[in-house]
């Protein structure tokens, strides 16, 4: 059975990456997806087999755009009041988690399922949507797989041109992170020391700062090459091609994991069990940042894992 389904994508790059397994399973179960998201979403999902539409700003404008679609059902990955209000005004049957004072705006309110990680919450929501829409639920009867973000040939070619023959000696450094947890910033304070140690060992370091980030990145990473102004597809392709990625709990960390990069996520204020890069490695905890030397050794171990000892498997 084939069903046309509207999808309100999450509002953050990392969350879009972690909802990819849910989107893939919905497609496999028989849904044809039309996705709505922020202005960067069409670029991130340029290689993805689904229609991706940029939402205008404002609840009424969002509703007006979605009202043009004949599909009646929409799954809401964000937990925001505004996403539910837009779906309601558009006359759509919405499926989502009841939070942020939006309970009575939803057509189908879904209770939280097992698992604390966002990727598991998105998977559970999509499972509930598939059941209600009478899709092939067997597509969800398995463990949540790793996210897979397809890259365009153009982005891969541009990444190859940027890194050249030194891709195998390149580590991408992602020192920025948005937001705080309990008043504490999510940025690891020891990137300078760690990158100095990596550079001293002969690694080529690359940083891809976003808008208004270059000055701060240059100050904290004086030995890294700056690749500024990359769109998110090319940024993802650079991380996929590089030997490794070192990142805060951030959108780039999840982006690197989604393209199969060897990524090490650094934690000191957020819980790695809830926010880890699915399929990647982590260091640190919600209570304490790791020391620079431990991070360097853990990253190098992830890049070139030691051979198994006799008798180990």
| Cα distances (Å, whole numbers) of residue 177 to 84, 209, 226 | 27, 11, 17
Q: To which residue do tokens 């090319």 refer?
A: 234
CA distances (Å), origin 197, targets 18, 188, 244, 295: 31, 16, 15, 10
Helix (H) or strand (E) holding 96: strand 93-97
85: left (phi over 0), alpha (psi -120 to 50) or beta: alpha
What's the predicted TM-score (pTM) here? 0.94
- SS3 category, 238: helix
The confidence score (pLDDT) of residue 312 equals: 47
**Same-fold call for 3-140 versus 153-303:** yes
The domain made up of 3-140 has a fold known as Rossmann fold (3.40.50)
CATH architecture, domain defined by 153-303: 3-Layer(aba) Sandwich (3.40)
Any idea where the domains of the chain sit in the sequence?
3-140, 153-303
Report whether 74 contacts 95 (CB < 8 A): yes
Q: Which residue is associated with the tokens 């829409």? A: 133
> One digit per residue, pLDDT tens: the chain, 313 residues?
679 999 999 999 999 999 999 999 999 999 999 999 999 999 999 999 999 999 998 999 999 999 999 999 999 999 999 999 999 999 999 999 998 789 999 999 998 888 889 999 999 999 999 999 999 999 999 999 999 999 999 999 999 999 999 999 999 999 999 889 989 999 999 999 999 999 999 999 999 999 899 999 999 999 999 999 999 999 999 999 999 999 999 999 999 999 999 999 999 999 999 999 999 999 999 999 999 999 999 999 999 877 766 554 4
Whole-number pLDDT of residue 113: 82
Which alpha helices (H) appear in 133-275, and where do they start and end?
153-163, 191-200, 214-220, 232-241, 251-258, 272-275
For residues 185 and 202, give the distance between their C-alpha atoms in angstroms, rounded to a whole number. 30
d(CA 102, CA 243): 44
Q: Report CA-CA distances (Å) from 313 to 95, 143, 305, 309.
A: 43, 22, 13, 8
Amino acid 308: pLDDT: 65
CA neighbor of 173 nearest in space, from 225, 247, 70, 96 = 247
Measured distance CA(284)–CA(68) in Å, rounded: 47
* pLDDT confidence of residue 120: 96
Distance CA 97, CA 120 (A): 13
Which residues 6+ apart lie within 8 Å of 257 measured at CB? Answer: 17, 146, 147, 263, 277, 278, 279, 280
Query: Are residues 19 and 27 in contact, defined by beta-carbon separation less than 8 angstroms?
Result: no
CA 89 to chain centre: 29
């Amino acid at each position: 059975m084939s069903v046309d389904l509207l999808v309100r994508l999450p509002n953050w790059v990392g969350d879009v990456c972690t909802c990819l397994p849910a989107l893939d399973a919905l497609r496999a179960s028989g849904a044809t997806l039309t996705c709505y998201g922020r202005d960067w979403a069409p670029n991130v999902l340029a290689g993805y087999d689904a229609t991706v539409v940029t939402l205008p700003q404002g609840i009424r404008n969002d509703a007006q755009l979605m009202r043009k679609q004949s599909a009646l059902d929409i799954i809401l990955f964000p937990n925001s009041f505004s996403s539910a209000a837009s779906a309601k005004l558009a006359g759509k049957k919405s499926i989502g988690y009841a939070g942020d004072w939006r309970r009575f705006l939803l057509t189908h309110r879904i209770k939280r399922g097992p698992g604390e990680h966002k990727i598991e919450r998105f998977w559970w929501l999509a499972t509930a949507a598939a059941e209600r829409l009478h899709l092939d639920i067997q597509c969800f009867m398995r463990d949540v797989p790793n996210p897979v973000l397809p890259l365009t040939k153009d982005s891969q070619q541009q990444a190859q041109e940027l890194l050249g023959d030194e891709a195998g000696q390149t580590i991408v450094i992602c020192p920025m992170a948005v937001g705080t947890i309990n008043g504490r910033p999510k940025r690891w304070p020891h990137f300078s020391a760690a990158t100095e140690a990596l550079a001293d060992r002969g690694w080529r370091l690359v940083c891809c700062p976003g808008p208004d980030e270059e000055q701060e990145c240059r100050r904290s990473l004086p030995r890294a090459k700056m690749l500024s102004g990359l769109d998110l597809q090319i940024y993802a392709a650079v991380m996929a091609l590089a030997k490794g990625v070192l990142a805060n709990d951030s959108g780039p960390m999840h982006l690197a994991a989604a393209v199969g990069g060897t990524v090490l996520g650094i934690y000191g204020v957020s819980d790695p069990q809830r926010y880890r890069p699915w399929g990647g490695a982590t260091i640190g905890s919600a209570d304490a940042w790791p020391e620079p030397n431990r991070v360097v050794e853990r990253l190098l171990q992830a890049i070139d894992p030691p051979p198994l000892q006799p008798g180990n498997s």
